Structure 1
Amino acid sequence: MDLDVSEQRIKAMTTAGLNLIGQALSIYDNQLRLVLCNLRFQEMFDLPDALVQPGALFHDTIHFLASRGEYGAETDVDTMVAQRVEQALAFEPHYIERTRPNGQVISVEGAPLPTGGWVAVYTDITRTKQAEDLLRARSEELSGQLLDRAEELSATNRKLAATITALEEAKRQLTEIEARTRMTTEMMPAHIAHLDAEARYDYSNRRLSAVMPGRPSDILGLHISQALGAGAYERVKPHLEQAYCGQPSVFEFTEGQDQRRIRVSFTPDGAGGVYVMSVDITEETQARVALQQTRRREMAAQMTSGLAHDFSNLLTIILGMQAKLAKMDLPDQADTLITATQQTARRGGQLLNRIADMTGHRTPQPQATDMRALLEDLRTLASPSLPRGMGLSVVNTLPDKPLMLDPGMVQDALLNLVLNARDACGASGQITISAHAIGQIWAEITVSDTGPGFSAEALDKALNPFFTTKGSDGSGLGLPMVYDTVKLAGGDLQLRNTPSGASVVLRLPYRPAPPAQSGLVLLVEDQDELRSQFRDMLVDLGCAVIEATSVDEALTLTADIGDIALILSDIRLQGDETGLDLIQQLDGAIPCILMTSLPYSDPLHRRALAVAPVLRKPFTPAQLSALIRTEAA
């Protein structure tokens, strides 16, 4: 109601203002219907009230004026009116002067509107014309050519004024277009800018600080080196120089402050400047690293699985033959050789198991992980294996909030590094585990020791499988397994020597866990005992639960109940249809988690992994909670 009153007040004020000007004004829409006119328009042409009401047709007004002789003696009024309507529909700017039957001289200035239609202004120029005639009468000594020129200039000035008005309207429209364009670019998750010939910003969508935190947003007039800082500028400078030479450049670099990965495009504009687009691709890079590691592991598994199988058979044969030899009546010296051979064969079997762990199917299962508790548990696990003269300390400055990590894989990797540090230090020394956040991008965990440090060869080859500095006591698979774990998570690993020893730095994606969410869960399981167990898990997690045993029952419940937040379904169910059929028929309407006891090699299990998260039975409440959090995120 307040809005209607406000609109009425604005309309009344606009009409009153237009009525105060000395010119007649009319506005018609693209269908040539009257939108607005002032009182002067009605008075100038002596129009009836019906023709000055909104919606009055331009055709009717022209017909009324022509019938009254406004345009002279017309024998065919309808033809003349049709011609004027056709001219009006062209919506072209125009300026004319004409003398009315009553002797009044008026100028008519028309301009099209952006949305169609036009506005016309009618000005009484009778006195101006009379002054011109008087000038002509009193200046007989002046040549007629001079007077004609003066009159022509006067008319030209009036046309110029009309043109200026049209240009001002065009400028207004361009200003609106520019504002819309700027708004669009400012909403994009990228920094878009333009550098002039001197590498100074003359346009920016003010998103530099969003892509590279810590940089200013208002950078117009700044040189690119001032906006980016010396470190980042040195990384982009060669590519920028290439763009100023006329060659476009697309490249990536790691920003120094919080280790974000940035993709930059430099494009020459053809006039000496350069267009710039910068995008934060940190998460994309983390996902790409994880995918590349997964593919490498799959290739390694294909290459080693056959060899490992054959080698395992050979070791089995060797152990069997040695067992038979041990039962024979052989010299004591032979017993020693038999025992050594058996120990070596068993060690080969352990090595095969570790190779299988590295190349087998290991998929990280991120869940909400309390890093403070994880590191304290690690201290408890590692301390008994350390010599009495060796210390282990934990320095954790990570924010006190759960992170999405696979706690088992992370803890195994850190324990492996602690044991390596123990071996490097000998009987005494200090091992330190430190953890901190790098911006909101990385969680960095460092395991450092006071040992002799890495040799030059170790720094170069330590991540290669089977490289070891422990001689016969090492397998050369510890650090490669840690590297594999970090890469699968989308992170990175670095080896360094420090003034006091060595350190291994794990950098994992910093992803805070979303808050736990409760809601209505549809549990689809055909075995009564398992369904009861899973229902208790869900209730303990704060979820309300409804149950079904088949796809048909589940679809009926989803159709009748509109607030189901999640479906937890077994793959094999009552009837011929499976959990995969349920997902297909729901077509993404409700998030789904599948569970199964089928082996990974089963085709149904492999198909399920392609369409939804899969929990392998048996699973723990923590694993179920982690997947529920992930689906809620």
Structure 2
Amino acid sequence: MTGATDTALLTAIMQAAVDAIIISDGGGTILRASAAADRLFDYEDGQLIGQSINTLMTHDHADTHDGFMTHYLNTGEKSVIDIRRDIEGRRRTGDIFPLHVSVGHTRIGGEDLFVATLHDLTQSHASEDALTRTQRLDAVGQMTGGIAHDFNNLLTVIIGNLELLGLRCTDEKTREFVEDAQDAAELGADLISRLKVFARKGDLKPVATDLREVCNATISLLKTTLGGNYAITTDFDDNIDTILVDQSQLQSAIVNLVMNAVDAMHGSGELAFSISNVVIDDAYIAQELDISPGAYVRLSVSDTGDGMDREAQRRAFEPFFSTKADGGTGLGLAMVHGFLRQSGGHITLYSEPGIGTSFGLYFPARDTMTAARPPTVPTDARTQRWLERQILIVEDDPQVLKLSLKRIRDLGLQTHQATSADQAYALLQAGLKVDVVFTDIVMPGKMSGYDLAAKIKAEFPTVKLLITSGYTSDIISAKLPHDVSFDVLHKPYRQADLVSRLAALLADES
């Protein structure tokens, strides 16, 4: 091959490689970087060339890296060369993320060259965390089920003997002691029954149910109990599939969620209930929800309470975990989780501190024909000539951002990203040209997604806006008042829903 052919081949490889590839010299200066490397570290094409490899590392790792490389070049001892390992990388934005890296060494024309191959582990770690969480809950559930069974046997003997003792008591004081012991034993039996629900071993009696009817009946009861300090809104679709569910346990689950919400709202607030049919028909949302594809009916229960931090969200469904000031039993959400899983469904949690919390309860639709309903919009945007369209994705959650970038890129659009509304606004002011801004509502920093959208509408009128949130529109509007009304794409959403919204936004340009 000629030198020109070799160079063209190397360039083609660097552009086509799926994993990131970076070539640096002996001093750690980057000489070549693949297109995947630019995307991985959030740099524009060619921006990595000439920079120090240390800029892509955490500060701790960068401090030791030069010493390792110098030692290798002087002694030939391999401490990092030809070894696969997991480290942390640093994007241009400063975000830290997990990487799998391997580094090789070669010499060309007397010059030392190092070739690093890097693979992003963010999604892998997220999947492992989700699997670990599910396995942990399953293991605790199995243990809890066994303990509940044994305790039920013990309580049966205790309660039975107390009843016999009570029949034989002639002394009134002794009878009081026996009745107190019986009451305590009955409370223990009730606790065990709730543990069995978490362990998915409760005695369910599923019947064909219209979720709206049960929800309306429960809300009527709650309104009397809660009083006038809590505003309750409902948004139920007209045509809802029936589900097979234990109505008593369903009502108990709704009450549990509402009582948790009331505790988090401290005397006043807003509760929003919505019910709709949902078809899980693409890999994105099935992965996002850890749920099998098919037809479901979704009940969303949202509040304007304190919200939960990341750690509380991670442990929310564990038995005996509670964020309440008085400790609580920590069984409410665990019971709801177990009930949903035993019913063949799933529960999701979306929360932001200071904004509120939204639970999504997914029940399999009884009408299996719903599962065959095709998406109403084709999911291949390339047929709509979107290949040159530019979209700015604004999302502060790294996992959601990564998923959104993949979704949008799979549609053929060119992507840019920002992790806050403030950063997105600065990019637009600096001259970034985009066709669409796709932003979450709740954002760190001074501006919310609504604030960003209002500024874009006023200052960049040709830019289209698509807003998304895990909350219902009523809840987020109450917490983040704004002068301009925007249609919200609710999380989690299907790829077909995303295509439909983008198609409507770009209809006059495509």
- State the TM-score, normalizing by the size of structure 2: 0.43
Q: Which has the higher relative contact order, 1 or 2, with Cα contacts under 8 A spaced 6 or more apart?
A: 2
Q: From the CA coordinates, give the structure whose radius of gyration is larger.
A: 1
- State the TM-score, normalizing by the size of structure 1: 0.36
